[in-house]
Amino acid sequence: MKKIIVTKEMIKNLYNGRFLKLCDLQYGEGKHYYEATRRELDDVVVVKGHNEKNNLIADAVTIAIIVFLPGESAKLLLTYEYRYPVGEFLLSPVAGLIDPEDKETCDILKTAAVREINEESGLKFNEKTDTIRVINPCAFSSPGMTDESNAFVCAELHLDNLDEINHNGAVGSELFDGFEVLDVEAARKIYNDGRDKHGFFYSLQTWAVLGYFINNYAE
């Protein structure tokens, strides 16, 4: 099947907000597709060549925080973050947009992840004992509606205790309501149920992080 080509000239801006834009992609005579994007109009994914798309820097980073406490098995640290479009606190991994300053560093994803971990959990990454590795450098969040993408990383933190976890670094509209520290068995139940302990649904990012934890840290 012939690929549809959309050029910059075929894109019309319908709404331009601080963090989000709405665009009309006119991909043919009288044919329109509407998308939300975090990117500038000349940088939306649809207008990029195949090689450019293969080397995208993701819009955001999502972090599987694996905590190791003395004498205990690995635990997955999640938060409850308020998500305005659904009007609920959703069980969520620590995550956030990649800032322009992050892109100026030699390790963009690690820099963004370290910052987000500290902002949303209060924990500090220790270069001597902790590690961060990339799980997936760029995964599209919901490509039927948006070109937004997330990088998934795993951060292994070795801690003496969890006394320092807090949400004091929340900024702007960010709103949190506590943490969950899950062992593999508890994570597997939430993964299989498709709901958190309160019986509510969660995001695809949470589902992916739960699955990664279960598959890689079961004893």
DSSP assignment of 30-83:
TEEEEEEESS-GGG-GGGS-HHHHTTPPPSEEEEEEEEE-TT---EEEEEEEEE
Q: Chain centroid to CA 100: how far?
A: 16
Chain position carrying tokens 């009309």? 24
What ranges do the domains of the chain cover? 8-53, 60-217
Q: What is the pTM of this model?
A: 0.94
Distance of alpha carbon 149 from alpha carbon 138, whole angstroms: 6
For residue 102, the one-letter residue type is D
Per-residue tens of pLDDT for the chain, all 219 residues: 778 889 999 999 999 998 899 999 999 889 999 999 999 988 999 999 999 999 999 999 999 999 999 999 999 999 999 999 999 999 999 999 999 999 999 999 999 999 999 999 999 999 999 999 999 999 999 999 999 999 999 999 999 999 999 999 998 899 999 999 999 999 999 999 999 999 999 999 999 999 999 999 997
Chain position carrying tokens 């099947």? 1
Q: How many CA atoms lie within 13 A of 93 on its CB side?
A: 31
Quick one: CATH architecture of 60-217?
A: Alpha-Beta Complex (3.90)
